[in-house]
Each structure stands twice: as structure tokens, then as C-alpha cells.
Amino acid sequence: EVQLVESGGGLVQPGRSLRLSCAASGFTFDDYAMHWVRQAPGKGLEWVSGISWNSGSIGYADSVKGRFTISRDNAKNSLYLQMNSLRAEDTALYYCAKANRSSWYDWVWFDPWGQGTLVTVSS
């Protein structure tokens, strides 16, 4: 069974940093691109970032570009999101999602999704 388990969320002050992790199991991790998608409380889904199977290609939403860094460790079957200079508007449930292909862009969809980890940015 494919499983994605996020961790690392919590309460953080504006301007501080946080690192999210996603542990993957049940599939050949380094065959697939991976993504982060977030959902602010009571709001819709917002794509955050995607990374190709070998980390050779990465994409970010404009809202996080320059502040967030996605990475992966294929040896550990893990995906990460380093979030710096956090803002109140970054408060959301952050989902890790497996792509259907090795590249993160073009004809990509997400299946499955993890259960999410909550990030709250507040003083």
C-alpha cells in the first residue's frame, strides 16, 4: 500500500523557519516526482512546489519562491520542504503528494496524498 506521512508542522512565529518532512512507502520512491500542496483553513488547494525524481528539475509557486526550498533524499524515501521567512498567510495544512510520473510538470496529477501536517504562523 502506498503511504505518505507528513511531519514537522507546528506553531511558529512570523519570520522564523520550519522544515517539513514526508516519509514515503509502498512504491519505488525514486521513480516519481513529488509535490507539496497546501490548504489554508477553510480555503481551497494551492500548489506549493514540485520536484522531479532525481531533483534535477524543481518548481515553486510564486507565493513561496525565494522563501521555500523543496528537496528529496531517495535513499531515505523522503521529501522535504524547508520554509524560511514564514508569514501569517503561510498558515495551512501542508500535504505531500505523489505524482503520476517522474517529472513534476506538464501532464501531472497527484495520487495519493498524505494526511497533511498543520503549519500555523502566528506571534
Partner 1 sequence: QSVLTQPPSVSGAPGQRVTISCTGSSSNIGAGYDVHWYQQLPGTAPKLLIYGNSNRPSGVPDRFSGSKSGTSASLAITGLQAEDEADYYCQSYDSSLSAHVVFGGGTKLTVL
Interaction between residue 46 and partner 1 (CB under 8 A)? yes
Looking at 9-17, 22-30, 57-65, 75-83, which segment touches partner 1 (CB under 8 A)?
A: 57-65
Nearer to partner 1 among residue 14 and residue 105 (C-beta): 105
Question: Site for partner 1 (CB under 8 A): which residue of 32, 35, 81, 83?
Answer: 35
Contact 9, 118 (CB under 8 A): yes
Interaction between residue 94 and partner 1 (CB under 8 A)? no
Triad 105, 109, 112: Cα angle to 5°: 130
The set of residues, in sequence order, having a beta carbon less than 8 Å from that of 87 and lying 6+ positions away, is 14, 121
The set of residues, in sequence order, having a beta carbon less than 8 Å from that of 4 and lying 6+ positions away, is 22, 23, 24, 96, 97, 98, 112, 113, 114
Interaction between residue 108 and partner 1 (CB under 8 A)? yes
Binding site for partner 1 (CB under 8 A): 35, 37, 44-47, 50, 59-62, 95, 100, 104-116
